[in-house]
Chains A and B, each alone.
Chain A
Amino acid sequence: MCTEPAVVYQRNIHRHLCGHHFTAEIERRVADTITLRRMISPGDRLAVALSGGKDSTALLLLLSRLLPAWQNVRLIALTIDEGIAGYREATVRAAEQVACRLGIEHHCISFPDLFGDSLDVLLEGRETQACSICGILRRKAMVIGAGQAGATKLATGHNLDDEAQSVFMNVLRGDLPRLVRNSGADSSGKFIPRIKPLSLISEKDIAAYLVLRNEWKELPECPYTRYALRREVRSVLSRFEFKHPGTMLHLIESKEKIEHLCAGSVISAPLRSCRICGVPSSGDLCQVCLLLQLRER
């Protein structure tokens, strides 16, 4: 597109981009995703799940740059501190710094405050289930945090790699309800709508965007990832993507086609209310109450 040195090579379309054109393209693609999928409405109070890691930092940066294009939309940053020793302290600090620098209202809530203990304590003896348990509790924490902040929607930094990995994992597990579940499309009003503006941007592109915006930070990786199936899936998919560019995008597209085919079908049991806390649940107890109850035993 110009004569400046290339910093990025887009393998699937055989195109080189300089820093300026690459960052402009990322911003355009995110804006297009938001517009085409009607992710943001005038008047939205948008809670951005900000862990302090690269994806959520990029998300906050991009949304704050794109904000003037939307009518009366307010951003707030929401950080969940699970209390993972040797990891979360650094990322929470990074989250505070970026929110402060961007002048964005920042809320932080912790697992000890919500669930009585840090994730490290809650996981004792169950480290191999770390990601599943953390995921259940984090989602609840985000809903509570978003509610406390008066948010109308919750934006998360899930990227193309994350989404493709989830599709692959759900297929490996044979979990059709989870495969077709669309957290942004709930029309019952029972769940806070979630949006994923980065869902078509690769993890590598997000990292490159941060480097080019001078926002890259070396941060530790969660110590519990070593137990996760996702780690293996990530490695496999990354190899496939390198050898067969476009694989991850095709996985996402396949999922969307399956969702469309299943629309209107009863895939999972109707929602009830958790007997203990009252939130929508597929069972007698929601996953969080079930988890905490099992722990007490």
Chain B
Amino acid sequence: MILILSEHDRRIIHHSPAPVEQILLEAGINPLDVLVSRNGNLISEDTIAEAEDEILVIRIAHGG
């Protein structure tokens, strides 16, 4: 699967299907600090990410 953390940070991850939350935690990301999108749609962090998925991680910038 591909984890897109930013325009310049795309990571290919060899991982069996797993909850997005687990993928994020293993990448050192608190799931509460980001939104996650797959194929242009928001998904909840307990969604199972499959090997062929491209997961976009949207960082929530702080400050109102």
Asked if A212 and B60 sit within 8 Å, CB to CB, the answer is no
Contact of B46 among A9, A53, A238 (CB under 8 A): A9
Asked if A221 and B30 sit within 8 Å, CB to CB, the answer is no
C-beta contact mask, A132-175 vs B, less than 8 Å → 1, else 0? Answer: 00000000000000000000000011110010000000000000
Task: Give the residues in chain A near B31, CB-CB below 8 Å.
Answer: 242
Task: Give the residues in chain B near A218, CB-CB below 8 Å.
Answer: 61
Q: Which residues of B contact A (CB under 8 A)?
A: 30-33, 35, 37, 41-47, 58, 60-64
Task: Give the residues in chain B near A59, CB-CB below 8 Å.
Answer: 64
Asked if A156 and B42 sit within 8 Å, CB to CB, the answer is no
**Shortest CB–CB separation between residue A170 and chain B, in angstroms?**
19
Contact of A239 with B by CB under 8 A? yes
Do A9 and B42 form a contact, CB below 8 Å, given A54-B60, A56-B64, A225-B62? no
Asked if A221 and B35 sit within 8 Å, CB to CB, the answer is no
Contact of A53 among B35, B44, B47, B61 (CB under 8 A): B61
The 8 tightest CB contacts between A and B, nearest first, are: A55-B64, A9-B44, A157-B64, A7-B42, A221-B61, A207-B60, A53-B64, A56-B64
Task: Give the residues in chain A near B41, CB-CB below 8 Å.
Answer: 5, 7
Asked if A238 and B30 sit within 8 Å, CB to CB, the answer is yes
- 20 A-B interface contacts by CB (under 8 A): A5-B41, A7-B42, A9-B46, A16-B44, A53-B61, A53-B63, A156-B64, A157-B64, A158-B64, A162-B64, A202-B32, A203-B62, A207-B35, A207-B60, A212-B42, A216-B58, A218-B61, A219-B61, A225-B62, A238-B30
